Amino acid sequence: MSEDSKKQAASRRGFLSGAAVLVGGTAVAWGLEGCAGDAGGGGAKPGTTPHAKPKGHVEPGQMDDYYGFFSGGQSGEIRILGVPSMRELKRIPVFNRDSTTGYGATDWTKELLGGTMSGDTHHVHLSYTDGTYDGRYVYVNDKASARLARIGLKTMETDAIVSIPNSQGTHGIFPQRHKTGLVVCNSEFRIPQPNVGADMDDPSKYAGMHTAVDGETMEVVWQVMVHGNLDLAATDYEGKYSFATCYNSEGAVTLEGMMAADQDWVYVFNLAAIAAAVKAGKTLTVGGFDKVVDGRGNGGDNELVQRVPVPKSPHGINVSPDGKYAIASGKLSPTCSVIDISKLADVFAGKIKPRDAVVAEPEVGLGPLHTAFDGRGNAYTSIFIDSVMTKWNIDKAIAQFGGEDVDPIIEKIDVHYQVGHTNASMSETKEADGKWLLALCKFSKDRFLPVGPLRAENDQLIDMSGDKLELVHDGASAPEPHDAVIVLRDKIHPEKVQTRTDPRFKIYEKWAKEDGINIMKDNKVIRKGNKVRVWMTSQAPNYGMTEVRVKAGDEVQWLVTNIDNVEDLSHGLCVVQHDVIMLVNAQDTNSITFKVPNKGVFWYYCPWFCHALHLEMRGRMIVE
């Protein structure tokens, strides 16, 4: 090794251990190269832990303590990373066409996507029971086409997508936390209601929607129409309220207009009152949906909705793990607004003013966006313009607001660069454990090798367990995760092979019945006119058929069932020259439909490395 690369290697290690020092030009990474006492002769330096394991490092063969569920932004997907290693484990296609799995091209997923092949995922949240994750579902928004998707955590596959009526720019979403109940969804863009060509040039008539989707049935339950555009969403821990930040209370359609007012809102939705109004039939039909309640009465503050005034264009809204406070991050104001949830009943009862529910407004830095928690009474706010994470104490902020001379700010740590979202281990549950903090940075600039005009984002991992915040990992990620949740691994219980209980198996069974087929056994070509169904099994390294004969002009529906009952043994089907590739996991069935316009011999092969004879796992489609 050259002197230079030695130094580089040492500083990389030092970066991980957070304890590298240069002694007389020789790099010594304390804790990695033996005892500090005999390395360089200097003894342990103050602030270093000679024998401590490098923080955030997960040894080969060791597993992470947490799952990180990250949105994939414009990729339309969800990604699963191990935390703290930040190793990417899986990408789940949700709103996108995915060549790896055939998602968006296979029969079931084509129907799920309904012809819209792109999306923009921002916010991922898991289903809850009793204030913590219950390991059942993941929900994610599509800002591009106003949809909500659900992923089943047993298979980590998308199992439902619902289009949200009367909405554009579905942004913040949040499931209820006391049980798997409603998932609330905010429309960020105000539009004419209904949006069918009237009122287009009169933005004062535009309105937004706060929508509730049933987390079990994935059906839209109700919508509340409001004046404002709704940004981020949150729910309380008791099932009483949901929250939405609202910038552009001005109702403007230009940037200058949206920033004009010094004050905007946190909307508080009274869920019982809304349900009662729907039940009593106090509803409107808008755009064909008949369970819309009007939350615009009395200027916007009424029995369904109350608006808490907060400074200029708030962004994130996060509820503390003790369920006491909803904290809105100021964005254009250098503050966070702390709302005492216990005061909201009095706000709805008209006993106090909405603004009286604000119990603290600490100054956290320029451009606060989102807030995470450690379960020890501290909050961590991502600060975009200052490019720092600010750690502050909630109780001290309340005391300061009450006139006491205390400083709630505990520490600021630089992040690289321009942090958007933040989250911490179990932070969105009552079990927040204060171990790992994420800073999802929007720019990586000089942190990674340059790769052309578009660079990776930088998902930074911070050890938040000690007295001092410590940056332990730079995680390059393809653009662009917006948000992530970090979930203790024993909350999640994925299946090892497909158990064939997901809704899509009903359609395969229906087709098999039509054709008199035993899916797990039969290899047959069934013809009805020019529609041909190919039923085929796979078992490493063989397909059930090595020759399939069809006719030019046929429409072929090909179903492959992987009868291997071995974990991690996936097969698939690629029919060359026909834009057909799909994945078939162990014990799974998958199907894809395509046209065969031309005569000739076309090989099909297994695209997944499954056996020493994997390359031989193929056959000929003969088009006559």
Binds ligand CUA by CB under 6 A, chosen from 492, 617, 621, 623 = 617
**618 belongs to the binding site for ligand CUA (CB under 6 A):** no
**Amino acid letter at 208?**
G
Residues facing residue 573 across a β-bridge: 582
| Closer to ligand CUA by Cβ: residue 7 or 611 | 611
Shortest approach of ligand CUA to residue 613 CB, angstroms?
A: 8
Q: Are 535 and 526 in contact (CB under 8 A)?
A: yes
Instruction: In whole angstroms, give the CA distance from residue 324 to residue 340.
Output: 6
Shortest approach of ligand RUQ to residue 141 CB, angstroms?
A: 8
Find all residues with CB under 8 Å of 353, minimum gap 6, and list them. Answer: 347
Answer with the entry of ligand RUQ, ligand CUA, none that 97 interacts with (C-beta below 5 to 8 A by kind): none
Shortest approach of ligand RUQ to residue 93 CB, angstroms?
A: 20
Total of chain residues touching ligand RUQ, rule CB under 6 A: 11
Answer with the entry of ligand CUA, ligand RUQ, none that 369 interacts with (C-beta below 5 to 8 A by kind): ligand RUQ
Q: What are phi and psi of 434, to 5 degrees?
A: 60, 35
Binds ligand RUQ by CB under 6 A, chosen from 240, 396, 421, 571 = 421
**136 belongs to the binding site for ligand RUQ (CB under 6 A):** no
DSSP state of 356: G
Binds ligand CUA by CB under 6 A, chosen from 571, 582, 591, 604 = 571
Q: Are 109 and 508 in contact (CB under 8 A)?
A: no
| Closer to ligand CUA by Cβ: residue 328 or 581 | 581
Binds ligand RUQ by CB under 6 A, chosen from 153, 164, 369, 586 = 369
**x/- map, 314-353, ligand CUA, by CB under 6 A:** ----------------------------------------
Shortest approach of ligand CUA to residue 138 CB, angstroms?
A: 29
DSSP state of 530: T
Answer with the entry of ligand RUQ, ligand CUA, none that 608 interacts with (C-beta below 5 to 8 A by kind): ligand CUA
Helix, strand or coil, per DSSP, at residue 612: coil
Scan for tokens 């949206």, then name that residue.
258
Shortest approach of ligand RUQ to residue 71 CB, angstroms?
A: 8
Answer with the entry of ligand CUA, ligand RUQ, none that 603 interacts with (C-beta below 5 to 8 A by kind): none
Per-residue burial over 579-606, b = 16 or more CB atoms within 10 Å of its CB, e = otherwise: ebbbbbbbbbbbbbbeebeeeeebebbb
Shortest approach of ligand CUA to residue 538 CB, angstroms?
A: 6
Find all residues with CB under 8 Å of 605, minimum gap 6, and list them. Answer: 574, 576, 615, 617, 618, 619
Q: Are 76 and 118 in contact (CB under 8 A)?
A: yes
**3-state secondary structure labels for all residues of 474-536:** EEEECCCCCCEEEEEHHHCCCCCCCCCCCCHHHHHHHHHHHHCCCCCCCCEEEEECCEEEEEE
311-340 binders of ligand RUQ (CB under 6 A): 315-316
Instruction: In whole angstroms, give the CA distance from residue 95 to residue 139.
Output: 12
Angle (CA) 456 461 467, round 5°: 150
Instruction: In whole angstroms, give the CA distance from residue 142 to residue 187.
Output: 11
- Measured CA to CA in angstroms, residue 539 lies from 516, 565, 607, 617 at distances of 22, 9, 14, 9
Q: Are 542 and 604 in contact (CB under 8 A)?
A: no
Scan for tokens 């193929």, then name that residue.
618
**540 belongs to the binding site for ligand CUA (CB under 6 A):** yes
| Closer to ligand RUQ by Cβ: residue 332 or 560 | 332
Answer with the entry of ligand CUA, ligand RUQ, none that 584 interacts with (C-beta below 5 to 8 A by kind): none
Answer with the entry of ligand CUA, ligand RUQ, none that 448 interacts with (C-beta below 5 to 8 A by kind): none
Answer with the entry of ligand CUA, ligand RUQ, none that 102 interacts with (C-beta below 5 to 8 A by kind): none
Q: Are strands 317-319 and 241-247 parallel, antiparallel or unpaired?
A: unpaired
Answer with the entry of ligand RUQ, ligand CUA, none that 483 interacts with (C-beta below 5 to 8 A by kind): ligand RUQ
Binds ligand CUA by CB under 6 A, chosen from 183, 246, 560, 610 = 610
Shortest approach of ligand RUQ to residue 364 CB, angstroms?
A: 15
Number of residues in the chain: 624
**x/- map, 150-189, ligand RUQ, by CB under 6 A:** ---------------------x------------------
Instruction: In whole angstroms, give the CA distance from residue 1 to residue 30.
Output: 20
Helix, strand or coil, per DSSP, at residue 342: helix
Answer with the entry of ligand CUA, ligand RUQ, none that 578 interacts with (C-beta below 5 to 8 A by kind): none
| Closer to ligand RUQ by Cβ: residue 15 or 443 | 443
Angle (CA) 83 175 427, round 5°: 35
Answer with the entry of ligand CUA, ligand RUQ, none that 171 interacts with (C-beta below 5 to 8 A by kind): ligand RUQ
Shortest approach of ligand RUQ to residue 188 CB, angstroms?
A: 8
Scan for tokens 């600010």, then name that residue.
390
| Closer to ligand CUA by Cβ: residue 336 or 569 | 569
95-134 binders of ligand RUQ (CB under 6 A): 122-123
Binds ligand RUQ by CB under 6 A, chosen from 136, 240, 482, 504 = 482
Q: In terms of Cα–Cα distance, which of 356, 224, 370 is closest to 295? A: 224
Shortest approach of ligand CUA to residue 526 CB, angstroms?
A: 24
- Measured CA to CA in angstroms, residue 57 lies from 22, 82, 220, 472, 506 at distances of 21, 11, 43, 8, 44
Shortest approach of ligand CUA to residue 565 CB, angstroms?
A: 14
**614 belongs to the binding site for ligand CUA (CB under 6 A):** yes
Instruction: In whole angstroms, give the CA distance from residue 306 to residue 4.
Output: 62
**581 belongs to the binding site for ligand CUA (CB under 6 A):** no
| Closer to ligand RUQ by Cβ: residue 424 or 580 | 424
Residues facing residue 289 across a β-bridge: 286
Q: How many CB atoms lie within 10 A of CB 449?
A: 7
Instruction: In whole angstroms, give the CA distance from residue 162 to residue 375.
Output: 34
| Closer to ligand CUA by Cβ: residue 430 or 611 | 611
Q: What are phi and psi of 110, to 5 degrees?
A: -60, -45
Binding site for ligand CUA (CB under 6 A): 540, 571, 606, 608-610, 614, 617
Binding site for ligand RUQ (CB under 6 A): 122-123, 171, 315-316, 369-370, 420-421, 482-483
